[in-house]
Structure 1
Amino acid sequence: MKSLNLTAGLSPAFRSQALWRPLLAFGLGGLAHLAFAPCDIWWLLPLALAGLMQLVERRSPRQAGWIGLSWGFGLFAFGIRWVHVSIDNFGGMPLLFSLLLMALLCLYLAIYPALALYALNRWFSQSSLSRWLAFPALWLLTEVARGWMLTGFPWLWSGYSQLEGPLSALLPIVGVLGTGLVISALAAALPSLLQRRWGYLSVPVVVVLMTLLASLYQPISATGKQVDVALVQGDIPQSLKWEPENLWPTLVKYQDLSRPHFDADLIIWPEAAIPAPEHLVREFLFQLDWGLSEADAGLITGLISMDTQKNFYNSLMVLGEDPNGPPMNPSQPGRYHKHQLLPIGEFVPLEDLLRPLAPFFNLPMSSFQRGDALQPNLLAGGVTLAPAICYEIAFPELVRQNTHEDTDLLLTVSNDAWFGDSIGPIQHMAIAQARALELGRPLLRVTNNGITAVVDHQGRITEQLPQFTTGVLRAPVELVEGRTLFAQWGQRWLYLLAIAMLLLAVGLGRRAQH
């Protein structure tokens, strides 16, 4: 059978050039970003991946790698364009250099799909069946590598494209990475179906059956208990947040917003709501703690911790819960220190080399130390919370390992003011929704300028504050019990499955050669 001709209608002159395949791949990658928030056109990603598979068919490994690089560059150039808002607005670099830095970041991220396609055509070109098995395995392993190398960048993992689609039912079972594996397996089958290899019809049939069965899986049930929360969104402009003269106006603003809600069970302020090392605000913390204790309310705030060796941590602190006052020792219970730090924003690799180059490498509070990977849950307002600060919510295993059977709520705090009116905060919100769905727990998201929201255990936003407004989101949150399969098993078994698929693909390929 003839293969699907994606160049039909193009001029012979254009078709004769080696450039058309990378250009078309770039366009498909750019389209693929529409499958993610805020557009959520979930069916676009399997089609874009199927087109990528077709473009590399019967190409050399090197050609396949270039095509994969172009596809990845298109995905990330459009999909993470919000990063440039931060670089351009706060980096202090000329536009040309900030665009160059952004292009280098996208090229780096595009290396991972390039490696997947290179390996596919290097070792798995013998039969369509071996390619069908190998592609989803390679895609998963390269997504895992992207989420781990250089501290990891798991943004736009394939599974995040399905939050508004039917495959979202798989998230509590196999998580985001497992859902991405299913998407890529479906995509790998589509070119063969278009070539009328009807045996591959079993793939979408199995995917539909898996989705239907997964939708019947309901391990989580309501406890009948509620917690009354007040989520405070201060909307402090990023240009003012770290100015010393703005510290006390900021503290007064958060205190004044919170005081009418001291009758709530739990009040939460966002990441670094107190924008100063704690020793500078010690008196304020003691006074606030006393007021909360008198009202029998708990409060969790972001602040900058400092230990006796003068190491700084991006932290959360619980106030109003201990009769002896706030936990002023960073090693005391009632603290959480961020583990997954953001490169450049919270620590600078090769800082002796990079810091002198540009103001971008000297952003406020970019010299944090890392907290432990496993830390106790926070106890406040009568509930236990598994916290994740900002970027950490994008790491499923980190959040899962800190979520236990007696964890009542997931909590993520952030300051997305760095990214202005871009798609970044919306994608960040979608990532948090995925964690709630994977782990079967309601989630509270509290930010400086939006999106502040309450998410139920099915990943649905039930209450939300508008972006770029000052306000308090007061809402009851239904507590649940039970554990999802993902909460119990995590995603590491997927790595073994991918390796097994590759070994089987190798065996099938050798058999096809004989």
Structure 2
Amino acid sequence: MFEKFKTVGEEFAPSGNFLAVPYNFLNGLSGTPALVACFVFGALSNLSFAPLNFWPMMMISLVALVWMIDGATRQKKPRSAVFARTLLFAFGQFGVGFHWVAFAFLVDAKAHAALVWMSMLLPLGLAFIWAVIMRLAINFWVPGPARVMLFALTLFIAEWTRGHLFGGFPWNIPAMVWAPGGSVSQTASVFGVWGLSLLTLVFFSAPAALCDGRTQVGTKMGSVGRSVPIILVAVIFGSAWGWGSHRLSDATSQSVGPEVRLVDVGVPQSEKFKPEIRKLVLRRYLQLTQPDTGDNPRIVIWPEGAVPYALLQYPDALDPVTETLGARRLIVGTSFVDRTQRPERWYNSMAVLSAESPVAEAIYKKHRLVPFGEMVPFRKLASRIGIGALQQIAEAGFHAGPPPAPLSVEGVPDFQPLICYEALFPGLLPKRNVETEFSGVESDMAFERADWIVNISIDSWFGPLWAPYQHFEHAKYRAIEEGLPMARVASRGISGMVDGYGRVTDLAHAPDFEIYPEDPKGWKSRILDSHIPNALPPTMYSKYRDVFAIGMILLILICWITLPRD
């Protein structure tokens, strides 16, 4: 099949094509220079994600990769060249983008610094997924404009695979280049972030069709055929932007719900478990929460793993907490130990506490666990060779709980819990029963829709750079997909209130009242009192999930078949 492409050394330089110079340069690279270029473009593509969101860099990078794959088809071993170039591009993107994984090994440096090299295994493994899938797709590669549809669909399959394989790691999938709360991001309420990711890949790849490697450049519709993909996606993406702008122009964010207090003492994760700090952490949380005066917010939220022990099973800490609460409710992240199991099982949990009950009024056990952070794959084998979970309270790792479902507690609007890593996963929240909603037929599968989402996290694992911003962006997309407001409390991350359009209505800030003379060195306490925004009507995505994204895949396949190939 590769005989359709020009041989090494030939140039394609159609007169008047302003892209001929960069195309000829990238298309002509071979050997080490080509691999270095792929790595550099992959690394630079990270500028498209938060906090910069300079999305044109992703378009430039993907167009460059298409053209370098064109060049790979002209090499002596084209399939190997495609594999290597895709691998280096993906490793550049993931290696730089997932730099924060290394910081997790340095939280308890004495125990885990020697294993920091393992942080490179994740981006390398994910890059291998890209390379293998592109290596298979190259068997269908064509010189003409149709190849951009194949390229976009191939990368989508690679991204979907890394987002689901072995539990999945959908950090910074293509949709994340669009800042949540903006016009384009609103399409996630219909397609979800996977559908928006596919649309984004097609949009960013389309300009690559303006130059190609066909030997007879004047045939098969010529320059008109090369323009078709970019015209199509411009119309589709322009329509999506227009729809999103219209949706936001009609948007309201009335804060009609109860007032909530978000509290984070901001203790560094490396200090939290020191004996001299353990009691100070709880005391600081209680000081920021303040005693119940009757006028302060009726709901208080603390972050994931707020205190360095299993709070529900530690009376010396639980008693002062419930005493401070008074008539309020506390939603808190805490470890929970099930001692009825042999051996006992630890869970990363979210609990609702009140002074009225000696036990938690509701508890959610985290369903999606972070590999090596909270759980260790092949637990028994890993323990024999001395590999344990990075988190400091359950060295053998946590166990997974059932899938998340809305929690209902008196005095608190029904809420959907999400703990840390779970906020990365679209569709993790229960799907609405459409038949029940429209027909009135009762079903055991139906559930009452939550009024809001509560997302708690420990972002101090992520280090000081851009990962906490990106984690917050992922969480905001869950609000858009479900049409539900979200309260987020992230230890040493970004805490705030988000409406159902993904827009931030309030951000937590340093306390502006003197209840403690000064935070310990390195602590960054944050607090926010804010009303819960109103929930939106159920979104199309909350009802139908990925049905529309599947329809988009079929449309792209049709385009691939009908666009000029040779």
User: TM-score, normalized by length of structure 2?
Assistant: 0.80
Question: Counterpart amino acid of 1:25?
Answer: C
- 1:243 — aligned with what? 274
- 1:395 — aligned with what? 425
Aligned counterpart in structure 2 of residue 350 of structure 1, from 375, 378, 384:
378
Q: Is the 8 A contact 1:374 1:402 kept in 2?
A: no
Aligned counterpart in structure 2 of residue 198 of structure 1, from 227, 232, 237:
227
- 1:414 — aligned with what? 457
**Residue deviations 1:253-310, cap 9 Å, x none?**
2112112566212100111113212464135424533553xx4311111111122212
Question: Structure 1 residues 297, 105: CA separation in 2 closer, same or farther (over 3 Å shift)?
Answer: same
Residues 1:487 and 2:542 are matched in the alignment: yes
Q: Is the 8 A contact 1:454 1:462 kept in 2?
A: yes
Distance 2:21 2:385 in 1: 49
Residues 1:52 and 2:86 are matched in the alignment: no
Residues 1:38 and 2:72 are matched in the alignment: no
Distance 1:356 1:39 in 2: 44
Q: Is the 8 A contact 1:30 1:71 kept in 2?
A: yes
- 1:444 — aligned with what? 487
Question: Counterpart amino acid of 2:369?
Answer: L
Question: Structure 1 residues 75, 255: CA separation in 2 closer, same or farther (over 3 Å shift)?
Answer: same
Cα drift, residue 413 of structure 1: 0.6
Residues 1:143 and 2:173 are matched in the alignment: no
Aligned counterpart in structure 1 of residue 302 of structure 2, from 249, 258, 269:
269
Question: Counterpart amino acid of 1:135?
Answer: F
Question: Structure 1 residues 170, 92: CA separation in 2 closer, same or farther (over 3 Å shift)?
Answer: same
**Residue deviations 1:359-410, cap 9 Å, x none?**
7755412411111014332436431111111111001111354997631211
Distance 1:221 1:349 in 2: 45
Residue aligned with 2:304, SS:
coil
- 1:462 — aligned with what? 505
Q: Which structure: greater helix fraction?
A: 1
Question: Counterpart amino acid of 2:79?
Answer: P
Distance 1:377 1:91 in 2: 37
Structure 2 counterparts to residues 102-113 of structure 1, below 5 A: 102-113=119-130
Structure 2 counterparts to residues 12-31 of structure 1, below 5 A: 17-31=30-44
**Please, what is the CA RMSD of the aligned residues?**
3.1
Question: Counterpart amino acid of 1:21?
Answer: A
Q: Is the 8 A contact 2:256 2:531 kept in 1?
A: no
**Residue deviations 1:48-76, cap 9 Å, x none?**
21221111125223322211111111111
Distance 2:45 2:110 in 1: 31
Among the aligned pairs, what percent are the same residue?
26
- 1:376 — aligned with what? 406
Return 336-345 or 364-373, whichever deviates more: 364-373
**Residue deviations 1:460-500, cap 9 Å, x none?**
222223585213211223222311212222236535643x3
Aligned counterpart in structure 1 of residue 106 of structure 2, from 77, 85, 88:
88
Q: Is the 8 A contact 1:21 1:67 kept in 2?
A: yes
Residues 1:339 and 2:356 are matched in the alignment: no
Q: Is the 8 A contact 1:340 1:391 kept in 2?
A: yes
Return 263-272 or 401-410, whichever deviates more: 401-410
Cα drift, residue 20 of structure 1: 2.2
- 2:438 — aligned with what? none
Structure 2 counterparts to residues 159-170 of structure 1, below 5 A: 159-163=175-179, 166-170=183-187
- 2:17 — aligned with what? none
- 2:439 — aligned with what? none
Question: Structure 1 residues 380, 464: CA separation in 2 closer, same or farther (over 3 Å shift)?
Answer: farther
Q: Number of aligned residue pairs: give it.
A: 498
Q: Is the 8 A contact 2:404 2:417 kept in 1?
A: no
Question: Counterpart amino acid of 1:68?
Answer: T
User: TM-score, normalized by length of structure 1?
Assistant: 0.87
Distance 2:324 2:174 in 1: 46
Structure 2: give runs of 5+ residues left out of the alignment.
1-11, 15-19, 213-222, 434-446, 511-522
- 1:208 — aligned with what? 238
Residue aligned with 1:481, SS:
coil
Return 205-214 or 21-30, whichever deviates more: 205-214
**Residue deviations 1:63-114, cap 9 Å, x none?**
222111111111112111111112234354797862x323322211112322
Distance 2:303 2:493 in 1: 10
Q: Is the 8 A contact 2:29 2:68 kept in 1?
A: no
- 1:178 — aligned with what? 195
Q: Is the 8 A contact 1:376 1:402 kept in 2?
A: no
Distance 2:323 2:34 in 1: 66
Cα drift, residue 192 of structure 1: 1.5
- 2:81 — aligned with what? 63
Q: Is the 8 A contact 2:497 2:506 kept in 1?
A: yes
- 1:154 — aligned with what? 170
- 1:330 — aligned with what? none
Q: Is the 8 A contact 1:375 1:402 kept in 2?
A: no
Structure 1: give runs of 5+ residues left out of the alignment.
328-332
Question: Structure 1 residues 402, 296: CA separation in 2 closer, same or farther (over 3 Å shift)?
Answer: farther
Cα drift, residue 191 of structure 1: 1.4
Return 106-115 or 155-164, whichever deviates more: 106-115
Return 254-263 or 203-212, whichever deviates more: 254-263
Distance 2:141 2:190 in 1: 29
Question: Counterpart amino acid of 1:110?
Answer: A
